[in-house]
Amino acid sequence: MRVVLLGANGMFGKRLAMLLAALPGAQLVLAGRDARALQALRARLQPAPGNAIEALVVDLDGEHAANIITAACPDVLIDTCGPFQQRDYRWPRLAIGTGFHYLDLADAPDFVAGIGVLDGAARAAKVLVCSGASTVPALSSAVLDEYCGRFSALEYVEVGISPGNQAERGRATVRSILSNVGKPHAQFIDGQLHMRAGWSQLRRHRYAAPVGTRWLSYCAVPDALVLPARYPGLRSLEFRAGLELHRMHLGTWLGGLLVRAHLLPSLLPLADWARRLSERWIKAGSDRGAMHVRMRGFDQAQRPLDLSWELIAAQGDGTYVPASAAAAIVRLLIEGQLDRRGALPCVGLLNLGDFADTLRGRAVRFHCEDRP
């Protein structure tokens, strides 16, 4: 199966390339602007026996980009080139029109939630068009699917993510975060969507060792838009993200106050400066990141039930987690185990075991426990 990977030189593109190269039957095409960087990445990869790896130089903003991608004859096109906040559906439409599958790692709420507008066309073309094949909503929904059977009523869900400070800073990731700071976005609270400012609502969360306590704040992700309908009775679903270094998290929070007070129109123009500053502090933190999904409601005997699922990543391997959903979907397509067609957010396609299989060998562990 030929897999064309757009943005292969990016932070998540490189991790996904490593996962895909090791998949038996995946013929990988690394696509990006920089030919030298593509060849360097190609040389570092360790493909499974029989796998071929090619490099494809393409400027996605160029007028011939669609023709170049089509000429590569993909069976699957994967887009890792964020940020997706201002993106259109150019590449999903190309996939539908040409007859190949499409995946992306988008976390922009409107982009992911709106992909269903292409569902009819994708079904007619008999292709899978899947947006949000990343930590959210793919992994977060897989966790909820794994444990929702223990609840007679699942009422409250809290999701949080905090990467290690030594994780690579992708330019697109920094721009995606700062575009949301201080800006209104939807959180699902008390049965309705409520607008909250990005990076507001400071909260401390204690993760298992060796991660420890981290600051978290509201952040815009697709979950509030796409998950409540899947879990009847859900009253609230809130998402927060955090930065390991207090100075970085609280500094971003203060920047959000300036945006909310209309003293700054946006933090987005500061993205390159903020990235350079954060790289000066990269040794100050750790290579350990975490994610949690807390679920509250009532069990099958109508007793209160409070579950806390955690992912703990060490040795810098947390950066593989956002790439693992797309790699798992490609594996299922190669093995003929995924026959879903149409356009949809990445919800209900993967289970928690699919993530565990994809991340096997990485310093990533899951655990879930009942809270008193």
The reported pLDDT for the residue numbered 237 is 98
The reported pLDDT for the residue numbered 13 is 96
Q: For 129, phi and psi rounded to 5 degrees?
A: -120, 110
Write out pLDDT tens, residues 286-332. 999 999 999 999 999 999 999 999 999 999 999 999 999 999 999 99
Write out pLDDT tens, residues 188-212. 999 999 999 999 999 999 999 999 9
The reported pLDDT for the residue numbered 116 is 98
Q: Categorize the per-residue pLDDT at 168 as very low, low, confident or very high, splitting at 50, 70 and 90.
A: confident
Angle at 206 between CA 204 and CA 212, to 5 degrees: 115
What would the mean pLDDT of 42-71 be, rounded to a whole number?
Answer: 96
Burial of 124 (0-12, 13-18, 19+ CB in 10 A): exposed
136-317+362-370 has which CATH code?
3.30.360.10
Q: Does pLDDT of 372 surpass 80? A: no
What CA–CA distance (Å, rounded) separates 92 from 115? 9
> What sign does the CA torsion over 121, 124, 125, 129 have?
positive
The reported pLDDT for the residue numbered 238 is 98
Which residue(s) pair with 311 in the sheet?
A: 291, 366
Q: Categorize the per-residue pLDDT at 364 as very low, low, confident or very high, splitting at 50, 70 and 90.
A: very high
What CA–CA distance (Å, rounded) separates 11 from 105? 12
Tokens of 361: 């060998």
Q: Does pLDDT of 41 surpass 80? A: yes
Using alpha carbons, select from 253, 259, 262, 317 the residue that is nearest to residue 291. 317
Q: Does pLDDT of 172 surpass 90? A: no
Q: Categorize the per-residue pLDDT at 164 as very low, low, confident or very high, splitting at 50, 70 and 90.
A: very high
The reported pLDDT for the residue numbered 122 is 98
What would the mean pLDDT of 232-252 be, rounded to a whole number?
Answer: 97
Q: Does pLDDT of 176 surpass 80? A: yes
Write out pLDDT tens, residues 107-156. 999 999 999 999 999 999 999 999 999 999 999 999 999 999 999 999 99
The reported pLDDT for the residue numbered 371 is 84
Decide the pairing of beta strands 27-32 and 2-6.
parallel
Domain residue ranges in the chain: 2-134+319-358, 136-317+362-370
Distances (CA, A) of 110 to 55, 225, 275, 310: 32, 8, 25, 27
What CA–CA distance (Å, rounded) separates 170 from 256? 21
The reported pLDDT for the residue numbered 268 is 93
Q: Categorize the per-residue pLDDT at 83 as very low, low, confident or very high, splitting at 50, 70 and 90.
A: confident
- Give the mean pLDDT of the chain: 96
Tokens of 121: 């066309």
Q: Does pLDDT of 171 surpass 90? A: no
Which residue(s) pair with 312 in the sheet?
A: 290, 365
Domain 2-134+319-358, second-level architecture: 3-Layer(aba) Sandwich (3.40)
CA 34 vs. chain centroid, Å, equals: 24
Q: For 21, phi and psi rounded to 5 degrees?
A: -60, -30
Using alpha carbons, select from 177, 183, 182 the residue that is nearest to residue 278. 177
The reported pLDDT for the residue numbered 145 is 98
Decide the pairing of beta strands 192-197 and 203-206.
unpaired
Please, how many CA atoms are within 13 Å of residue 271, restricted to the half-sphere of its CB?
17
Percent of the chain at pLDDT exceeding 90: 95
